[in-house]
Amino acid sequence: MRIDIISVVPNLLESPFNHSIVKRAKEKGLAQIIIHDLRAYGLGNYKQIDDTQFGGGAGMVMMIEPISNCIKKLQSERSYDEIIYMTPDAETLNQGTANTLSLKKNILILTGHYKGVDQRIRDKYITKEISIGDYVLTGGELAAAVLVDAIVRLIPGVIGDEQSALTDSFQDNLLSPPVYTRPSEFEGMKVPEILLSGNFPKIEDWRSEKAYERTQQIRPDLLDD
């Protein structure tokens, strides 16, 4: 999979993509992540990428020409399965979306800044808009990092135990059950006996029951879907 990211502050993305599972995916050749500095496409001597809003109002807007020129350049080199805009005013990222995107070959992500991008960019180029929650960040770089991590970890071969990803929270619209490891007792707190029994069918029944109970308590909305 190849993921291209258009950013105003590309340095913000260096650390998230050079550690842990995403780094492993890159080293294995399973994921290629390319970050493009939008200012390289800015206008004039000062490489301008933003301007004031038509109609007045506080905050600057990302200009259409630099973004359009960057997208056109990238599209001339390859076709993209999705061109995604990270923005708070969009559908919230969920596990189903991550699952679907992990099957794509080429993805282009545009990160927002200031008051956002000129609406004509969204109308002309964007095929999918994603939010990571009902709050506003300084820019879309961290949101893009969250999306990339959620996608890349699902690519076959990235995680050593692929079954692990299939049992994550939200894969079956349930939160994950409690998990335990050694020691079996700590300061009077014991691991449930069923997990030490070796009876794997009963252990799976216990995990399913606890997953349902936890979901019902914390996220009952998931059970309505």
How far, in Å, are 6, 12, 68, 81, 83 from residue 75 at the CA level?
A: 13, 24, 10, 11, 10
Structure confidence at residue 172 (pLDDT): 78
Q: Hey, what long-range contacts does 156-162 have (CB within 8 A, 24 or more apart)?
A: 156/30, 157/28, 157/30, 158/21, 158/24, 158/25, 158/28, 158/30, 158/31, 159/21
Q: Which two tokens stand for residue 73?
A: 């350049």
Biggest alpha carbon distance in the chain? 71
Contact assessment for residue 108 and residue 6, using Cβ atoms and an 8 Å cutoff: yes
Q: Give the pLDDT of residue 161.
A: 61
Residue 35: count other Cβ atoms within 10 Å of its Cβ: 20
Going by C-alpha positions, the residue among 52, 61, 134 that lies closest to residue 93 is 134
Which residue is it, tokens 């000129």?
Answer: 118
Per-residue pLDDT of 185-209, as tens digits, reads 999 999 999 999 999 999 999 999 9
Mean pLDDT to the nearest integer, 112-121:
94
Each residue's pLDDT tens digit, 136-177: 999 999 999 999 999 999 999 998 765 566 556 677 789 989
Average pLDDT over the chain, rounded to an integer = 94
Q: Binning pLDDT at 50, 70 and 90, where does residue 69 land?
A: very high
Predicted confidence (pLDDT) at residue 179 exceeds the cutoff of 70: yes
Q: What is the pLDDT of residue 165?
A: 62
| Predicted local distance difference test score (pLDDT) of residue 224 | 85
pLDDT on residue 189: 96
Which among 180, 141, 150, 127 has a CA at the least distance from the CA of 35? Answer: 141
Inform me whether the pLDDT recorded for 36 exceeds 60: yes
